[in-house]
Structure 1
Amino acid sequence: MKLIKTCALILPLVLLAGCLEVDQHPAWIHGEYAGKKDDRPYQRRFHNDRLAWWATVENRNGKQNEYNRANP
């Protein structure tokens, strides 16, 4: 009898455990995202200078090539 009472108390908790999940999708108002707009890396670190950002990326990629580093 005690097992039946325990199961009767636990069963509603188990059934309702999945109902508490929060919706994780961003809010859309009038077909547009209503959240904060994310900055691009060149906007934040290079003061919106895309060419300077791209030159830095290309320079970094060139230094990762083992053939160029081994043969000066």
Structure 2
Amino acid sequence: MKRILILCLPLALLAGCLEVDQHPNWVHGMYAGKKDDRPFLRHFHNDKLSWWGTISNRNMNQNEYNRANP
């Protein structure tokens, strides 16, 4: 039993060593990464109303009560 504990001790000590730091870089209190584009900026040329219309139509098509036509 003592031998198993001695063999497992280095494994337990090294278990957290492969943790990678996942925090963004900050320079002078500001985020130094790439600015993320909003979906309406990239695909709809900054037209929010068109983007919301597309999202609403997609959501209506996912509703089984609207698609079934009883």
Whether TM-score is above 0.5 comes out as yes
Overall identity of the aligned pairs, in %: 76
CA shift digits 1:33-71 (9 cap, x unpaired): 001101011111001111100100000001111111111
Would the alpha carbon gap of residues 61 and 20 (structure 1) be closer, same or farther in structure 2, given more than 3 Å must change?
closer
With normalisation by structure 1, the TM-score equals 0.65
How do 1:1-72 and structure 2 match up within 5 A? 22-71=20-69
How many residue pairs get aligned? The number is 61
The whole-number CA distance in structure 2 between the counterparts of 1:31 and 1:62 is: 43
Larger Rg computed on CA atoms: 1
Greater share of helix: 1
Q: Deviations over 1:10-46 (max 9, x none)?
A: x7xxx78966755332111122100110101111100
The CA RMSD over aligned residues, in Å, is 2.5
